[in-house]
């Protein structure tokens, strides 16, 4: 399963923003962390592992952005 880490500056939040992306193709799915959670939370809780077959077959591509709770 393909996994990519992204860290980019966003002017909207005036800080760097982190995200994990899983898969190589397919329907995009956004998995937000729970309140005050981090971008790696869904991986740590094995949610990504539970859909590994869909990721490997290219049916979905999952984006896990970091939380912006502290900014609101």
**In the predicted structure, residue 70 carries a pLDDT above the cut 80:** no
Residue 1: per-residue pLDDT? 86
**Alpha-carbon distance 68 to 15, whole Å?**
11
SS3 53: helix
1: how many CB neighbours lie within 10 A of its CB?
14
Domain-by-domain residue ranges, the chain? Answer: 3-71
Q: How confident is the model at residue 69 (pLDDT cuts 50, 70, 90)?
A: confident
pLDDT tens per residue across span 44-56: 999 999 999 999 9
pLDDT tens per residue across span 9-67: 999 888 999 999 999 999 999 999 998 889 999 999 999 999 999 999 999 999 999 98
**pTM given for the model:** 0.90
Q: Find the angle CA(7)-CA(8)-CA(14) to the nearest 5 degrees.
A: 125
């Amino acid at each position: 399963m393909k996994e990519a880490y992204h860290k980019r500056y966003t002017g909207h939040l005036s800080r760097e923003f982190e995200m994990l992306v899983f898969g190589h193709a397919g329907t995009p799915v956004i998995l937000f962390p729970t309140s005050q959670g981090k971008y790696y939370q869904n991986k740590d809780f094995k949610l990504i592992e539970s859909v590994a077959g869909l990721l490997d077959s290219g049916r979905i591509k999952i984006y896990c952005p970091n939380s912006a709770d502290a900014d609101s």
